Structure 1
């Protein structure tokens, strides 16, 4: 199978990947993030619990820390070239990030490793699409409104962060490469105006997409992983790139 190539538009790069701009002077933790004691026996559970409590604030966005609005997360443009299929999403709204449940939030301070396990019942992607080409055995063309619903999304994220000194303070730097895996219970596709509105071709294609959703999502896996990495980087990196390490934890 051909390699999947991901193209991110300039607005999206600015929104997700380059939004963590460090100010001239460092910041303290936002009031909604409560630090945990590194020496406490329940350090990992404290981190998870306080992280869960902070999510309701974080998903609203915080310009002071370069964190974009995540409820919904709006992607102005996303262009993909997937094994012969050219696919563009415009004005893409992602709903459901505000319902994330943190199952694990672990800082391994000896190995400089961050692990995040999370789960959400449903994620909806709503926007405009434009596609033309072949996806597995299906020849697809169309342009219009789209709605993709993912249920039972379980995400595992692990990254080795770096420590960098700047202006006399040490900061955690979250790289844009991470070990990511996920499972999902089901995916439902809805694309309006496939084949110029030809109902017979459109219904047959949508049935194939929804019957074999797992095969099609496997093709999209590199794109999904890239998006997950960017979202986690924008959240965690928004705090760690602006707040010195000495303020992130007690002790």
Structure 2
């Protein structure tokens, strides 16, 4: 399956212009603590929950909703024979999360976490043409895709980079798997605004959401992985590793 994300370049691989400190509310974890994994789990949840507000320590505005200029989900191999092209996307809900567990492997440099999000909502402009469940479909306009009760497995792989005598973490791979409890679709202006036809397609999409989403799941996972990779680097590029994980 083909996929492409044209996320804001300023989100990714930020140059180490100046060092910053983690917001004090995020907490710190000592590697030697017996409860290190639980400390990481708790502090990741706290940190993510603050993304809907500006973070002055990191010179960052609010990141929920997250702006995504362009998002492309390629056609599936089964019932979804249509490419989904989105523009001017806003992703809502990333700060409302429950972290179930987390672990850090310092030898191989990766972090694993399992989270649950009540809702991830993607709103933007769409353009599509093809077939879904053997039904012809085309249109362009506004759309909303809502993933509810989403179980997400995260694996973040990093490498260390030294700058001006300080060691930073750089996320080089961010893989996720998505398991939503439900997916809802609303595509406005299908069939050039023919309401009855558009309503029927939206109804079919929502009644068959599991079959439809599973066919393009890989595209969503890879695309969101790139977006989350960029988001992680916006933080990691500014804060030395020793201030994230205390000795």
User: Is 1:218 matched up with 2:214?
Assistant: yes
Aligned pair 1:116/2:113, yes or no?
yes
Tell me, yes or no, if the aligned pair for 1:44 and 1:106 is still in contact at 8 Å. yes
TM-score computed with the length of structure 2 as normaliser: 0.86
Which runs of 5 or more residues in structure 2 are unaligned? none
Q: Measure how far apart 1:41 and its partner are.
A: 0.5
Please tell me whether the aligned partners of residues 21 and 66 of structure 1 are also in contact (alpha carbons under 8 angstroms).
no
TM-aligned CA deviation for residue 39 of structure 1: 0.5
Partner of 2:75: 82
TM-score for the superposition, normalised by structure 1: 0.85
- Structure 2 CA distance for partners of 1:117 and 1:57, relative to 1, 3 Å: same
Q: Distance in 2 between matches of 1:30 and 1:234?
A: 19
User: How far is the alpha carbon of 1:215 from its aligned partner?
Assistant: 1.8
- The secondary structure found in structure 2 opposite 1:54 is helix
How many Å separate the matches in 1 of 2:233 and 2:31?
20
- How far has the Cα of 1:161 moved from its partner? 1.9
CA offsets per residue over residues 49-82 of structure 1, 9 Å max, x none? 1222222323335486476633211222223442
Bigger mean CA deviation after superposition, 119-128 or 79-88: 79-88
CA contact (8 A) 1:119 1:153 kept: yes
Q: What do the CA deviations read for 1:213-241 (whole angstroms, capped 9, x no partner)?
A: 11221232233112332343234322222
1:15–1:68: 8 Å Cα contact kept in structure 2? no
Distance 1:25 1:73 in 2: 23
Aligned counterpart for 2:244 among listed residues 229, 243, 248? 248
User: What is residue 33 of structure 1 aligned with on the other side?
Assistant: 26
1:163 paired with 2:156, answer: no
Residue 136 of structure 2 corresponds to which residue in structure 1?
139
Equivalent position of 2:43 in the other structure: 50
Q: Deviations over 1:167-210 (max 9, x none)?
A: 322222211x3442121111111111211222332233222211
Q: Would the aligned equivalents of 1:149 and 1:189 in 2 still touch at CA under 8 Å?
A: yes
Q: Which residue in the other structure is 2:9 paired with?
A: 14
Question: Take 1:87 and 1:197, find their aligned partners in 2: how far apart are those partners?
Answer: 18
**Cα 1:160–1:94, aligned 2, differ >3 Å: closer, same or farther?**
closer
Change (3 A) 1:157 1:49: same
CA distance in structure 2 between the aligned counterparts of 1:116 and 1:66, rounded to whole angstroms: 26
Assess if the C-alpha contact under 8 Å between 1:58 and 1:235 holds in 2.
no
How many pairs align? 243
Q: Write the distance in 1 (CA, Å) between the matches of 2:226 and 2:175.
A: 12
Structure 1 unaligned regions, length at least 5: none
How far does residue 123 in structure 1 lie from its aligned partner after superposition? 1.8
Give the deviation of 1:97 after TM superposition.
1.3
Aligned residue for 2:182? 186
Q: Is the 8 A contact 1:67 1:234 kept in 2?
A: no
Q: CA RMSD in A?
A: 2.4
